[in-house]
Amino acid sequence: MSNIKKSHFAILGLLSWQPQSGYDIKKLVEVGLSHFWNENYGNIYPTLDGLVRDGLAVKEAGNTSGRRTRNVYRITQQGQQLFDDWLAQPADLPIVRNELLLKFFLSGRLPNKASLRIVQNYQVHQQVILEDYRRSAAILGRAIETGTYPQEVMMLLNNDTRPLNTKQKARQCKFVLLTLRHGIMAVEARLAWCQEVMQVLTE
């Protein structure tokens, strides 16, 4: 079995929610998980082939309605096993490469004004992101509370081609919301840092 990387597990894990196509995976990640993950076609399709080759998934040539051929993939027992094993292992701690902090640190050679400009610019960007996250979180929160899943939520879950039952829907909403909370709290911390730094550097 070939050396297995994170994308493999990401895709395998998405198949473990429900069988779907490469296109579905791309859209789901793009729309619902983009605050913590990304995948692109150039990676997805070869990975799906690889999963099939390794017996971790099977291709079910599902030709939904009059559409073009959709290749729907379903996780196998073996794939499920491998995925569950991976899930049980602690996540690797990410290699950190924060360009903003790099710029900030390296600006230390110059007058404070240069560093302040960097931080102010960062602050503006983070504020935009925060509002975006909060909007999404509000939509999801409302859906979970009321048990109704309007168009907006389905957009966030990209649920048009992969039918989910109510329980799955609620569960997926809940987990997307919790990951969004992570994003919100992280952004808030960054904004607090901006405040602190601006205070220190303007003293």
Cα 135 to the center of its chain, rounded Å: 16
Question: Token digits for 131?
Answer: 């509002």
In angstroms, rounded to a whole number, what is the distance separating the alpha carbons of residues 182 and 68? 38
Report which DSSP code applies to 165.
-
Q: Does residue number 36 form part of the binding site for DNA (CB under 7 A)?
A: no
Q: Does residue number 161 form part of the binding site for a second copy (CB under 8 A)?
A: no
Q: Residue for token digits 């076609």?
A: 41
Site for a second copy in 91-130 (CB under 8 A): 91-110, 114-115, 117-118, 121-122, 125
**Residue 199 dihedral angles phi and psi, to the nearest 5°:** -65, -45
Shortest Å distance, C-beta 71 to a second copy: 22
Shortest Å distance, C-beta 68 to DNA: 4
Core vs surface per residue 71-100: b (16+ CB within 10 A) or e:
bbbebbeebbebbeeeeeeeeeeeeeeeee
Within a 10 A sphere around the Cβ of 192, how many other Cβ atoms?
10
Q: Does residue number 70 form part of the binding site for DNA (CB under 7 A)?
A: yes
Q: Does residue number 18 form part of the binding site for DNA (CB under 7 A)?
A: no
Q: Does residue number 66 form part of the binding site for DNA (CB under 7 A)?
A: yes
Shortest Å distance, C-beta 185 to a second copy: 4
- The contact set with a second copy (CB under 8 A) reads 6, 9-10, 13-14, 16-17, 33-38, 83, 87-88, 90-110, 114-115, 117-118, 121-122, 125, 171-172, 174-176, 178-179, 181-182, 185-186, 188-190, 192-193, 196-197, 200
